[in-house]
Homo-oligomer: A and B are copies of this chain.
């Protein structure tokens, strides 16, 4: 809902009531809660799509690919999802950064994403233990790369930024 994002950005999240959002969108409070289970959820409507793309790319990776290689494929696909929405992502990130409640919601979305990816990895060769670990770490790398991308990255290069960060992470063990 664009109305909500605009209001959050203009006057802050806490200062914006659901009634405000509904009013600007030409709705009632009650109706708002039919579209979104709660106030925060407005900012996370694309989450399922991301989950789906990421997990699908992991599943579609070549048969011979290792978990890490499958993960990399997923990360690149996930990066593509955000093509063209860099400006929107900036505003959204600013709003979220300003509010702990929203950060909480963001984090649990990541957790859900990780569990979907773990599922996809299990559908290949990985043991549950390592699938969970690999997925979790992959998603966190995505999260950090996303933060850098929003802050100062090339709008069209989220995927590459993520892949690079994954490499850098692997090198941390070589000391």
Question: Which of A66, A170, A173 lies at the interface centre, i.e. has the most chain B CB atoms within 10 A of its CB?
Answer: A173
> Would you call A67 an interface residue if the criterion is a C-beta within 8 Å of the partner chain's C-beta atoms?
yes
A165 touches B107 (CB 8 A): no
A165 touches B104 (CB 8 A): no
Query: How many protomers of this protein does the assembly include?
Result: 2
Q: Enumerate chain B residues within 8 angstroms of A107, measured Cβ to Cβ.
A: 104, 107-108, 110-111
> Would you call A141 an interface residue if the criterion is a C-beta within 8 Å of the partner chain's C-beta atoms?
yes
* Majority DSSP secondary structure for residues of A touching B: helix
Given known contacts A105-B104, A137-B137, A137-B140, A172 and B130 CB-to-CB distance under 8 angstroms: yes
> Would you call A52 an interface residue if the criterion is a C-beta within 8 Å of the partner chain's C-beta atoms?
no
CB pairs A–B below 8 angstroms (20 shown): A66-B172, A66-B175, A68-B173, A68-B175, A69-B175, A100-B108, A104-B104, A107-B108, A107-B111, A133-B141, A133-B165, A133-B168, A133-B169, A136-B140, A136-B143, A137-B137, A137-B169, A140-B140, A170-B173, A173-B173
